[in-house]
């Protein structure tokens, strides 16, 4: 899992664990919306040269473990991921537009933890915990 990446002027191994939730923690990331959200996150990461190492789309929040280039700040990466996905999800799903009539799909803020001070096994255990809800519903894996 620990692989160095390189560009024309750098060699780097920058990884971060990101978490953000839907506004009011409404459990709206289900079914088709959950699939579309996963696809939008994948597309945005590809466009930003961000590699998804692990990730989960739960019913009311997102977990991502990503490797990103040094030209991209964590805050800009999250802004683009949240912004593009919110805009397109609200445009494509009228039921979301009605619920989030103010146009704010994601909650304010996010959590970000640099990955390096914890073991891969600890992170994997944490993400595995989020793969399945206690009621048996599955989350969609982003890998």
Q: How many CA atoms lie within 13 A of 97 on its CB side?
A: 8
Q: In this model, does residue 41 exceed pLDDT 60?
A: yes
Say what the alpha-carbon torsion angle 37, 39, 42, 44 is, to the nearest 10 degrees: -70
Report the alpha-carbon distance of residue 63 to residue 29 in Å, rounded.
13
Whole-model pTM above 0.85?
no
Choosing from 24, 93, 110, 126, the catalytic residue is: 126
Domain boundaries, the chain: 14-141
Cα 80-68-8 angle, rounded to 5 deg: 115
The average pLDDT across 58-68 equals 96
| Residue predicted with more confidence, 27 or 5 | 27
Residue 88: partners with Cβ closer than 8 Å, 6 or more residues away: 36, 40
Mode of pairing for the β-strands spanning 5-6 and 11-12: antiparallel
The average pLDDT across 132-143 equals 63
CATH 3.30.70.1290 correct for 14-141:
yes
Of the ranges 9-13, 52-56, 94-98, 121-125, which one carries the lowest mean pLDDT score?
A: 121-125
Q: Is 110 a catalytic residue?
A: no
């Amino acid at each position: 899992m620990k692989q160095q990446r390189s560009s024309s002027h750098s060699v780097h191994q920058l990884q971060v664990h990101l978490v953000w939730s839907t506004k009011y923690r409404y459990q709206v990331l289900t079914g088709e919306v959950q699939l579309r959200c996963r696809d939008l996150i994948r597309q945005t990461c590809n466009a930003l040269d961000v590699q998804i190492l692990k990730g989960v789309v739960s019913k009311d929040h997102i977990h991502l473990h990503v490797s990103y280039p040094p030209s991209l700040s964590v805050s800009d990466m999250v802004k683009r991921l949240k912004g593009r996905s919110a805009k397109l999800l609200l445009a494509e799903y009228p039921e979301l537009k009605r619920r989030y009539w103010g146009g704010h799909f994601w909650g304010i803020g996010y959590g970000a933890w640099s990955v390096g001070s914890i073991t891969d096994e600890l992170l994997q255990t944490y993400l595995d915990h989020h793969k399945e809800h206690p009621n048996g519903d599955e989350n969609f894996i982003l890998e």
